[in-house]
């Protein structure tokens, strides 16, 4: 029976265009979704946009349009970019969607009725960048640490979610479920926040309409709208069909959230407590990744070094960029993007190793076997070792993906590509072809090379779906890959193969890049 699996990305603010940071999280989510589908799991993948709040209202005002017109435009751009890049999401959720607004209001009412929300007077320092009141911990030299700007002094009456009453429960949950937040450093970070509670208090969940109208109205007080984070987190429930949509319970029972480290507090503290209070099961895992720097520097609009996935696609092909993101970053740690490193990975792994294997296996099959997969003779020790290496790669990829080690999963896959290239070098089919007495050996060798390529076309599918499909197409298969297809020995002799263009072009080192 297939297992259910639900993977989410954060919903992206609409005051920015898609960049490498958003793309990385979405690539990781897409890879996991595709891997689970490959394994036959009943998979649901959600991504989308976070559209309310002060920042969005300000961005719309600066453009001279209504917030709704503004979010419609940017959300359409996000969605079409994600579609262009081939992400396989099942729902693109927007926090302005009617089902989401309804869920947020129902949940607010429920939490209010349960006595978990209280009306209070509040004085504090507010950062518009963070969309919240800051505490001492958030400040450095009087400036917000994240946004490096001075917060505003504000005094307001507001509604508060009595979150602090649940901190002990959260500590206990984190202690009982070691992989609840992973990698471990982020679990420790949340435990640290909870231990010295200086950075944590009850959560202000309302904004007076006189200051901000762009949000979901509180169902119990029409003078207020809901705080953007309380609204945004609920997207994960709405996207999967909360409260009674088809498949909701199944998917929610196996939800994996993916986020960047900057939004650990809302996901690691607010969200589990919100779920507990509303009586919903707590998520399975919060998976936290690090930050991309660009050529060694922080990425920012003012530095003009924002990396756009569409620009990278135009320059190198999206799968080359996608490969780089998955191969280069150790999930959980920071990573550095540079075009010269991308070119090196593309040329070294994709063009020289994988592209070359595909190219020579198919060229020799065309030349020596009329383009048809030959019949294998009795496998010898080297054929068996290639078959064993295929099985090892399959098992290692599974283990590494369960541990979110995407770079190691690709290392295992490329160790198999190396093994097959080495096998072809050792067997030297171009030499066997010259000796009529070696015909059976030639056929066994080319069968083994094509079969290895077929298995690669299955195992590669979650990481580089287009290249993988192209490999399978060249070996006569146009169906979706399934994990069962990775078992050795399924390629039918006599299958017609197609040579095709190089799978990955080689690129020159970019101008000005260090060699
Ligand atoms: N809207 C909130 C999320 C709400 S989820 C209920 C938000 N949006 S965001 O657009 O600012 O950021 C979305 C994600 O992009 C975050 O996970 C963030 O970590 C990630 N990244 C933004 N810049 C990044 C890098 N330079 N590197 C890696 N990821 C980064 O926060």
Q: What is the rounded average pLDDT of the residues 255-259?
A: 98
What percent of the chain lies above the pLDDT cut of 90? 89
Give the tens place of pLDDT for each residue, 364-388: 999 999 999 999 999 999 999 999 9
The pLDDT confidence band at residue 151, using thresholds 50, 70 and 90, is very high
CA of 89 to the centre of ligand 1 (A): 18
Q: What is the rounded average pLDDT of the residues 31-59?
A: 96
Q: Are residues 161 and 278 in the same domain?
A: yes
Verify whether ligand 1 is closer than 6 Å to residue 25 (CB atom).
yes
Range of the domain at 261: 4-289
Active-site hit among 298, 384, 431, 499:
298
Question: pLDDT at position 451, please?
Answer: 98
Give the tens place of pLDDT for each residue, 219-229: 999 999 999 99
- 502 in a structural domain: no
Contacts by 339-348, CB closer than 8 A, 24 or more apart: 339/315, 339/510, 339/513, 340/509, 340/510, 340/513, 340/514, 340/515, 342/312, 342/316, 343/316, 343/507, 343/508, 343/509, 343/510, 343/513, 345/320, 346/316, 346/320, 346/504, 346/506, 346/507, 347/506, 347/507
The pLDDT confidence band at residue 1, using thresholds 50, 70 and 90, is low
Length of the chain: 515
Question: pLDDT at position 199, please?
Answer: 67
The answer to whether 167 touches 194, Cβ cutoff 8 Å, is yes
Q: How many Å separate Cα 206 from the centre of its chain?
A: 31
Give the tens place of pLDDT for each residue, 468-507: 999 999 999 989 999 999 999 999 999 999 999 999 999 9
Q: What is the rounded average pLDDT of the residues 441-454?
A: 98
Verify whether ligand 1 is closer than 6 Å to residue 11 (CB atom).
yes
The answer to whether residue 513 scores a pLDDT higher than 50 is no
Whole-angstrom distance, CA of residue 288 vs CA of residue 185: 9
CA of 107 to the centre of ligand 1 (A): 25
Q: Are residues 421 and 345 in the same domain?
A: yes
- 371 in a structural domain: yes
Q: Which residue among 14, 22, 338 is best mutated to probe the pocket of ligand 1, counting the most ligand atoms within 8 A of its Cβ?
A: 22
Angle separating helix axes 318-328 and 309-316, nearest 10 degrees = 110
Give the residue whose CA is nearest to atom 29 of ligand 1. 21
CA of 214 to the centre of ligand 1 (A): 21
Sign of the Cα torsion 229, 233, 239, 245 reads negative
Give the residue whose CA is nearest to atom 8 of ligand 1. 12
226 is catalytic: no
Question: pLDDT at position 493, please?
Answer: 98
- 513 in a structural domain: no
Q: Which of 225, 254, 289 is the last residue of a domain?
A: 289
CA of 140 to the centre of ligand 1 (A): 22
Q: Are residues 345 and 208 in the same domain?
A: no
Q: Which of 289, 309, 328 is the last residue of a domain?
A: 289
Verify whether ligand 1 is closer than 6 Å to residue 13 (CB atom).
yes
Q: Which atom of ligand 1 has the smallest separation from the CA of 294?
A: 26
Q: Are residues 440 and 368 in the same domain?
A: yes
Give the tens place of pLDDT for each residue, 108-136: 999 999 999 999 988 889 888 887 788 88
Active-site hit among 36, 52, 127, 400:
127
Question: pLDDT at position 56, please?
Answer: 92
Verify whether ligand 1 is closer than 6 Å to residue 472 (CB atom).
no
Question: pLDDT at position 515, please?
Answer: 40
Q: Are residues 375 and 240 in the same domain?
A: no
- 312 in a structural domain: no
Torsion of CA 60, 63, 66, 72, to 10 degrees: -70
Whole-angstrom distance, CA of residue 248 vs CA of residue 37: 17
Q: Which residues pair with 123 in a beta bridge?
A: 155
Q: Are residues 278 and 379 in the same domain?
A: no
What's the structural domain count of the chain?
Answer: 2
CA of 154 to the centre of ligand 1 (A): 26
CA of 25 to the centre of ligand 1 (A): 8
The pLDDT confidence band at residue 27, using thresholds 50, 70 and 90, is very high
CATH number at residue 157: 3.40.50.620
251 is catalytic: no
431 is catalytic: no
Q: Are residues 18 and 167 in the same domain?
A: yes
Q: Are residues 201 and 262 in the same domain?
A: yes
Q: Are residues 272 and 383 in the same domain?
A: no
204 is catalytic: no
147 is catalytic: yes
Verify whether ligand 1 is closer than 6 Å to residue 12 (CB atom).
yes
Q: What is the rounded average pLDDT of the residues 436-451?
A: 98
Give the tens place of pLDDT for each residue, 54-113: 889 999 999 999 999 999 999 999 999 999 999 999 999 999 999 999 999 999 999 999
Q: Are residues 147 and 41 in the same domain?
A: yes
CA of 21 to the centre of ligand 1 (A): 7
Verify whether ligand 1 is closer than 6 Å to residue 270 (CB atom).
no
Q: Are residues 352 and 269 in the same domain?
A: no
CATH number at residue 467: 1.10.730.10
Q: Which of 289, 307, 331 is the last residue of a domain?
A: 289
Give the tens place of pLDDT for each residue, 329-352: 999 999 999 999 999 999 999 999
The pLDDT confidence band at residue 439, using thresholds 50, 70 and 90, is very high
Active-site hit among 36, 52, 144, 226:
144
Give the residue whose CA is nearest to atom 5 of ligand 1. 10
Q: Which atom of ligand 1 has the smallest separation from the CA of 260?
A: 19
- 316 in a structural domain: no
Q: What is the rounded average pLDDT of the residues 198-222?
A: 91
Pairing of the two strands 285-289 and 181-182: parallel
Q: Are residues 250 and 345 in the same domain?
A: no
- 369 in a structural domain: yes
Question: pLDDT at position 315, please?
Answer: 97
Q: What is the mean pLDDT of the chain?
A: 95
Measure the CA angle with vertex 11, ends 7 and 17; round to 5°.
125
Give the residue whose CA is nearest to atom 23 of ligand 1. 21
Tokens (6 digits) for 422: 């080495």
19 is catalytic: yes
Whole-angstrom distance, CA of residue 120 vs CA of residue 158: 5
The answer to whether residue 512 scores a pLDDT higher than 60 is no
- DSSP code for 378: S
Closest CA to 337 of 287, 291, 301, 285: 291
The pLDDT confidence band at residue 33, using thresholds 50, 70 and 90, is very high
CA of 289 to the centre of ligand 1 (A): 10
Q: Which residue among 46, 130, 262 is best mutated to probe the pocket of ligand 1, counting the most ligand atoms within 8 A of its Cβ?
A: 262
């Amino acid at each position: 029976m297939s297992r259910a699996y639900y993977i989410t990305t954060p919903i992206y603010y609409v005051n920015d265009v898609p960049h490498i940071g958003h793309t990385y999280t979405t690539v990781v989510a897409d890879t996991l979704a595709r891997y689970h589908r490959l394994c036959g799991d009943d998979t649901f993948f959600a991504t989308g946009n976070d559209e309310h709040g002060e920042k969005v209202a300000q961005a719309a005002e600066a453009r001279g349009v209504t917030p709704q017109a503004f979010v419609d435009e940017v959300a359409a751009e996000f969605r079409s970019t994600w579609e262009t890049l081939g992400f396989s999401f099942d729902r693109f959720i927007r926090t302005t969607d009617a089902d989401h607004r309804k869920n947020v209001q129902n949940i607010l009412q429920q939490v209010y009725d349960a006595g978990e929300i209280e009306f209070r007077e509040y004085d504090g320092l507010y950062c518009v960048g963070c969309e919240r009141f800051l505490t001492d911990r958030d400040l450095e030299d009087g400036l917000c640490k994240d946004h490096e700007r001075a917060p505003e002094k504000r005094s307001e009456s507001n509604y508060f979610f009595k979150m602090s009453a649940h901190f002990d429960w959260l500590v206990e949950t984190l202690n009982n479920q070691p992989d609840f937040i992973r990698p471990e450093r982020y679990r420790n970070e949340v435990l640290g926040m909870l231990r010295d509670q200086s950075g944590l208090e009850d959560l202000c969940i309302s904004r007076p309409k006189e200051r901000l109208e762009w949000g979901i109205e509180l169902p119990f007080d029409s003078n207020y709208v809901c705080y953007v984070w309380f609204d945004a987190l609920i997207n994960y429930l709405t996207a999967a069909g909360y409260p009674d949509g088809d498949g909701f319970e199944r998917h929610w029972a196996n939800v994996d959230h993916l986020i960047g480290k900057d939004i650990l507090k809302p996901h690691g503290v607010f969200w589990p407590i919100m779920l507990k209070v509303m009586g919903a099961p707590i998520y399975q895992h919060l998976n936290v990744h690090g930050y991309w720097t660009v050529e060694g520097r922080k990425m920012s609009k003012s530095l003009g070094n924002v990396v756009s996935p569409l620009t990278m696609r135009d320059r190198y092909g999206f799968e080359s960029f996608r490969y780089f993101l998955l191969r280069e970053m150790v999930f959980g740690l920071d990573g550095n993007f540079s075009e010269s490193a991308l070119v090196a990975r593309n040329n070294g792994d994709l063009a020289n190793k994988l592209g070359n294997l595909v190219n020579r296996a198919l060229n020799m099959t065309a030349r020596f076997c009329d383009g048809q997969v030959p019949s294998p003779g009795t496998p010898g020790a080297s054929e068996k070792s290639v078959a064993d290496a295929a099985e090892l790669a399959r098992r290692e990829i599974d283990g590494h993906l369960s541990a979110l080690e995407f770079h190691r999963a690709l290392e295992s896959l490329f160790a198999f590509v190396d093994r097959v290239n080495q096998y072809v070098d050792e067997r030297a089919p171009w030499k066997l072809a010259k000796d009529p007495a070696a015909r059976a050996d030639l056929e066994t060798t080319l069968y083994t090379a094509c079969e290895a390529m077929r298995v690669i076309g299955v195992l590669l599918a979650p990481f580089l779906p287009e290249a993988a499909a192209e490999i399978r197409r060249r070996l006569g298969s146009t169906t979706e890959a399934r994990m069962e297809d990775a078992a050795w020995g399924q390629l039918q002799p006599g299958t017609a193969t197609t040579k095709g263009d190089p799978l990955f072009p080689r690129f020159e080192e970019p101008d000005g890049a260090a060699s």
